[in-house]
Chain A
C-alpha cells in the first residue's frame, strides 16, 4: 500500500533506498514514469510542473519525481516504463529533507554513481525501459550513459534565442511539427557514436552564433528505446506547444506505445516563446 505524506517521509528517513522504493511498485494498468530533473542551473520547479502538465491527461500514468538521487535505485527502476532525466553528473542541488522548516540542509546526494549507471543501462538494454534523456543529461560524465544515448557531448555556448528549423517529417515524434522560435535557451550539441542507427529528430540554429546543431535524436538500444531532447535550459523551451507535443510523443515512442494526439496543446503567445 502506498504511504503518503509524513508517513512516507518518516519511512524515507529510516528505510534503505531500495526498501523505500519498493512502496512504489507498479500497479496493474499503471504506466510508471520516473523523473530525475533539476539542479542549480536548471530549475526543478518548472520542469516538474511542465512534465506533469504534459502528461496530465493520461490518468493511468503515475509520474514519480526522485528528490534525492540515492532513491534512484535498481528496485525503483525494475518496473519503470520510462525514465526521464535532466541531470549532469554531480551533486543534487539541495540535500533532501522531509522537514518543512530547515536551518541546515543535509548533505546532498550524487547522481550517476556506478549503481545508477548499472541500473539504467540494464533496464533500458535488457528489460526495455524507455529513456528520455533531456537537456544536460548528456554531460552526465559517464561513458556508459553517453554510450546508451549514442552520443559524444558538446557544450552549449552563450544563452541566446533559438530557431528550431528542421523537423524530421518521417518520424512519428516530429512528423507535422513546423519550425518555431524560442526567446532564450542554450544550445548543447552532440556527435553521434552510432550514426547509421541514430535518427535525427530536429535541429536548432542559435540565432546569434548561427551555429547549427542536432538538438533531438532517437535510437534503439538493446530492448529499449532512447530519445535525446536537448532544449530546456529555461522554461521558455517547455512553454511552447510544439515542444510539449514533441515531449509527449517522445515519451510514448520510448515506451513503444501508440502515440495519440497531444490533447494539452496551449498556444501561449504572450511573448515568452
Chain B
C-alpha cells in the first residue's frame, strides 16, 4: 500500500508531465526544411522519413559523434570551440554544407555563420495534423533550415 508521501510524489509527477504537455501544445511548432538532396533516412531505423516540415519545440538534441550521447547544445567554431543553445536562436540556415557552415540568427538580433561541429540531430516531428510522432535522427546536413521563429503564439 502506498504511503501518503508516495501518492503526493506521484501526483506532483503527473502534474508536471501534464503541464509539460500543455506547454508543448501551447508552443508553436518549429519549422524544419529537409535538404532537397537528402535521402531523409533515419539514422537509427534506416527507414525513409516523410518530408516533415514541423517539429516539436524543445525536442531538438544534437550528436557530436555517438547517437547514444545526446547534447542539448551544439558546438561551433568562432575563434575557438563555443557552445550554442538552440533556445537562444531564431533561425539556423545551412549556407555552405561542404564546410558544415550554418547561418545562426539569435533572438537578441546577433548573427554569425560558424562551422557546426555536431554532426547529427534528433527531434520529435509533427504529423500534418500537428500530432507528435516518434523521435527521428538525421544528419545535420539532411536539413537546410530550422526556423524557430517566435516561442509564443
Contacts and interface: CB of A to CB of B under 8 A. Distances in A.
Nearest to A188: B113
B146 to A, nearest CB: 18
Given A154-B95, A157-B99, A157-B115, A141 B78 contact: no
Contacts of A155: 78, 101, 112-114
Contacts of A211: 96, 99
A157 B79 contact: no
Contacts of A154: 95, 101, 113
B46 interface: no
* Most A-side CB within 10 Å, residue of B79, B110, B113, B115: B113
Interface in A20-52: 41
Contacts of A209: 99
A118 interface: no
A158 B77 contact: yes
B123 to A, nearest CB: 25
Nearest to B79: A41
Given A41-B79, A158-B77, A153 B99 contact: no
A166 to B, nearest CB: 19
A153 B99 CA distance: 16
Contacts of A189: 113
B110 A157 contact: no
A141 B110 CA distance: 7
Nearest to B76: A155
Contacts of B111: 153
Contacts of A158: 77
A157 B112 CA distance: 11
A181 to B, nearest CB: 21
Contact of A153 (B77, B78, B113): B113
Interface in B65-109: 77-79, 95-96, 99, 101
A155 B77 CA distance: 10
Contacts of A153: 111, 113
Nearest to B112: A155
B25 to A, nearest CB: 36
Nearest to A157: B115
A155 B95 CA distance: 11
Contacts of B95: 154
A55 to B, nearest CB: 30
Contacts of A41: 79
A140 to B, nearest CB: 12
Contacts of B77: 157-158
A110 to B, nearest CB: 15
B101 to A, nearest CB: 8
A78 B96 CA distance: 41
Interface in B37-66: none
A209 B77 CA distance: 14
Interface string B1-12: 000000000000
A155 B84 CA distance: 15
A153 B79 CA distance: 16
A138 to B, nearest CB: 11
A158 B115 CA distance: 9
Nearest to A158: B77
Interchain residue pairs A-B with the least CB separation, the first 5: A155-B113, A154-B113, A155-B114, A155-B112, A157-B115
17 contacts: A41-B79, A141-B110, A153-B111, A153-B113, A154-B95, A154-B113, A155-B78, A155-B101, A155-B113, A157-B77, A157-B99, A157-B114, A157-B115, A158-B77, A209-B99, A211-B96, A211-B99
